[in-house]
Amino acid sequence: MPEPYSHGYTKQTIGGNMDDATNYDPSWAHAAGILISNIYDLGKYARLLGTGSFYSSDLHIERTKYIEAAPGVKYGFAIGELSGWLGHNGSLPGYNSELFYYPARDAVVIVHVNSDIDNPAHAVINAIAGVLTPDNIPYK
């Protein structure tokens, strides 16, 4: 991986002990584990994903034909809608992230946590959304 990068920590081990997962091979996750990015690229991507300006308007319409995946959670083709926030979360051993765009305020929030223990990015995105959009918290 190109430097600088963060070390990731997980308890997804045989004994359940914390381990440095930085050099775990993420290829088992196929597309989710094939790309190395940074926070700046993700910030650009979040807005493009949320507005649909990354691809044709017809494709954006198809991607955002949401189904109710859980109460308050709509999911399309690799994009979710949670309380007005559009985006996706991600987790691999050692890392946990949230990438969301809020169209009503043209706001992008990217959370990257170097641990997957107890899904910490959910709590962080909720805290940030609680300040930016108190009536629209993604994970209620």
Model confidence pLDDT, tens digit, residues 45-60: 999 999 999 889 999 9
Number of domains in the chain: 1
pTM for this one?
Answer: 0.88
Q: Is residue 25 part of a domain?
A: yes
What radius of gyration do the chain's Cα atoms show?
Answer: 16
Q: Cα(125)–Cα(112) distance, rounded to whole angstroms? A: 10
Q: Domain for residue 140, yes or no?
A: no
Kindly report, residue by residue over 96-125, the tens digit of the pLDDT: 999 999 999 999 999 999 999 999 999 999
How do the residues of the chain divide into helix, strand and coil, expressed in percent and rounded to 5?
30, 25, 40
**Preceding peptide of 134 cis, ω within 30°:** no
Give the range of the structural domain holding residue 111, as residue numbers without chain letter: 9-132
Token duo for residue 74: 């709509």
Judge contact between 46 and 108, C-beta under 8 A: yes
Does residue 28 sit within a domain? Answer: yes
In a domain, 47, yes or no: yes
